[in-house]
Amino acid sequence: MDKFVIKGGKALHGSVAISGAKNSALPVMAAALLTTEKVSVHNIPKVRDLITMSKLLAFMGAKVSIAELPASDYEIEATTVSDAVAPYELVKTMRASILTLGPLMARVGVARVSLPGGCAIGARPVDLHLTALEKMGAEIITSHGYIEARVPNNGRLKGAHIVFEKITVTGTENILMAATLAKGETILENCAREPEVTDLVAMLRKMGAQIEGDGTATLRIRGVEKLYGTDHTVIPDRIEAGTFLVAGAITNGDLTVTNCAPEHLGAVIAKMQETGVRFDEIDKTTLRVRGAKKLVSSDMTTEEYPGFATDMQAQYMALATQAEGTSVITETIFENRFLHASEMVRMGANISIDGRRAVVRGPAQLSGTTVQASDLRASAGLVLAGLVASGETIIDRVYHIDRGYEGIVEKLRGVGANIERVHGTGS
């Protein structure tokens, strides 16, 4: 297995370009199943999850081609869906495979999708996706680890009034896609308002879907008979951008982050400003971040958008280890998302965990050692800790980070970090 080796202590300087959003590209690609026509998608990040999604769509019978250059351009043509199945082998490596369930039910009225299990950060059930589809007329059983769903009498899903019990990002996306081809009107309440949901709405609308309420908690979808091919560019990855903002700040550097969407980073910028980090919005797609001589602590609670994203919690924790005072970090979205904390403690951080609260006392002089990445964002938090630690930090199991960060080693090296990937074999 590959590892990263980081020699910390270098301030980052220069400019880094942000890739397309993984969590936008995933539903956008799944949405291509809704039409027989060709869908062209641009700005797809070169990360493993998107390769997995293209394999999944190809398994179902879609033609997926990736341009030579730029390799971020995909063409997907699901003229027929020959196999409405998401097999365990693919779902086990990427839970977001569940995003094919809604489109399959809408397009072919039948689907067999492996039940995603829990993962390192929590149990992550999909009950809300299933009850919503049932309200739209689907019959669903789970058996032998698979969700077996069908619309009776080879019919169409029908519009329904659904109030999500809890805000769910992929749940909102799945049911939104299902509703585009359903008979009649669907009203979805308590929807996720993440920019990735809004990006999906924008794409679906270009395909001919009738949707109102983007960016709000209530989406109204009037089902249509047919959707068409389109051309779509996914939004910039706000979590990758946020990770580089912390990289610039934690190393007391001066970074310009380009190709990003500052309007999606409001909560992260506001929180980091409270710790003393300085920002300049150069233009609509460019942010400059500069560290502070002294960072100060600030409490943070993760929330659904527009609040502070859970996907930035580990990175913020790395920053908090360098801030003077006590920062209380409360994780409200996932029940087990502090696995990075114990690894940071092994590097010298002063962090104690009490249920969903982590108390970080800083500043701590971190020292490099070997640490284990446990999930995608935890890995990013450990890379950031490694950038300020003395000596050498070795991060094991970086296959987690390869799921969602395009060329992170090359991008960090480009702004002066001393980081390299060491290829390993076996486990």
Q: Binding segment for ligand EPU among 125-133, 147-155, 206-214, 262-270 (CB under 6 A)?
A: 125-133
Strands (E), 144-290: 146-150, 161-163, 185-189, 210-212, 219-222, 230-233, 254-258, 278-283, 286-290
Residue (35 or 379) nearer to ligand EPU, CB: 379
Q: Binding segment for ligand EPU among 164-172, 183-191, 215-223, 323-331 (CB under 6 A)?
A: 164-172
| Cis peptide leading into residue 27 (ω within 30°) | no
Question: How many residues of this chain interact with ligand EPU, rule: CB under 6 A?
Answer: 22
Q: Which residues contact 182 (CB under 8 A, 6 or more apart)?
A: 106, 136, 156, 157, 158, 159, 160, 221, 223
Binding mask 59-98 for ligand EPU (x = CB under 6 A): -------------------------------------x--
Residue (253 or 404) nearer to ligand EPU, CB: 404
Among 9, 14, 125, 155, contact with ligand EPU (rule: CB under 6 A): 125
The distance of closest approach from Cβ of residue 26 to ligand EPU in the complex, given in angstroms and rounded to an integer, is 5
**Residue 330 vs residues 190, 302, 309: alpha-carbon distances, Å:** 22, 6, 11
Q: Does 272 bind ligand EPU (CB under 6 A)?
A: no
Rounded CA-CA distance 315/323 in Å is 13
Give residues 313-372 in contact with ligand EPU (rule: CB under 6 A).
Answer: 333-334
Q: Is 173 exposed, middle or buried (0-12, 13-18, 19+ CB in 10 A)?
A: buried
Contact (CB, 8 A) for 278 and 295: no
The distance of closest approach from Cβ of residue 337 to ligand EPU in the complex, given in angstroms and rounded to an integer, is 8
Residue (56 or 364) nearer to ligand EPU, CB: 56
- The three-class DSSP label of residue 282 is strand
- Among candidates 23, 155, 38, 158, which has minimal Cα distance to 94? 23
Among 12, 57, 103, 129, contact with ligand EPU (rule: CB under 6 A): 129
Q: Which residues contact 407 (CB under 8 A, 6 or more apart)?
A: 19, 46
Q: Is 119 a catalytic residue?
A: yes
Residue (165 or 281) nearer to ligand EPU, CB: 165
Question: Which tokens is 345 given?
Answer: 């403690």
Rounded CA-CA distance 224/261 in Å is 32
Q: Does 171 bind ligand EPU (CB under 6 A)?
A: yes
DSSP string, 70-95: STT-EEEE-S--S--EE-HHHHTT-G
**Backbone torsions φ then ψ of 356, nearest 5 degrees:** -90, 10
Rounded CA-CA distance 259/286 in Å is 6
The distance of closest approach from Cβ of residue 169 to ligand EPU in the complex, given in angstroms and rounded to an integer, is 4
Residue (317 or 389) nearer to ligand EPU, CB: 317
Rounded CA-CA distance 91/97 in Å is 5
Q: Does 169 bind ligand EPU (CB under 6 A)?
A: yes
Residue (109 or 171) nearer to ligand EPU, CB: 171
Q: Binding segment for ligand EPU among 68-76, 118-126, 147-155, 289-297 (CB under 6 A)?
A: 118-126
Q: Does 203 bind ligand EPU (CB under 6 A)?
A: no
The distance of closest approach from Cβ of residue 96 to ligand EPU in the complex, given in angstroms and rounded to an integer, is 4
Binding mask 206-245 for ligand EPU (x = CB under 6 A): ----------------------------------------
The distance of closest approach from Cβ of residue 263 to ligand EPU in the complex, given in angstroms and rounded to an integer, is 18
Q: Does 117 bind ligand EPU (CB under 6 A)?
A: no
Annotated catalytic residue, options 58, 119, 261, 328: 119
Among 12, 57, 126, 250, contact with ligand EPU (rule: CB under 6 A): 126
Among 105, 128, 245, 265, contact with ligand EPU (rule: CB under 6 A): 128
**Backbone torsions φ then ψ of 367, nearest 5 degrees:** -130, 140
Among 6, 25, 26, 86, contact with ligand EPU (rule: CB under 6 A): 26
DSSP class of 12: P
Residue (95 or 413) nearer to ligand EPU, CB: 95
Rounded CA-CA distance 314/26 in Å is 22
Residue (287 or 312) nearer to ligand EPU, CB: 312
Q: Tokens 């979808």 label which residue? A: 221
Q: Does 168 bind ligand EPU (CB under 6 A)?
A: yes
Residue type, 99: L
What is the set of active-site residues? 119
| Interface positions with ligand EPU (CB under 6 A) | 23, 26, 96, 122, 124-129, 166, 168-171, 310-311, 333-334, 376-377, 404
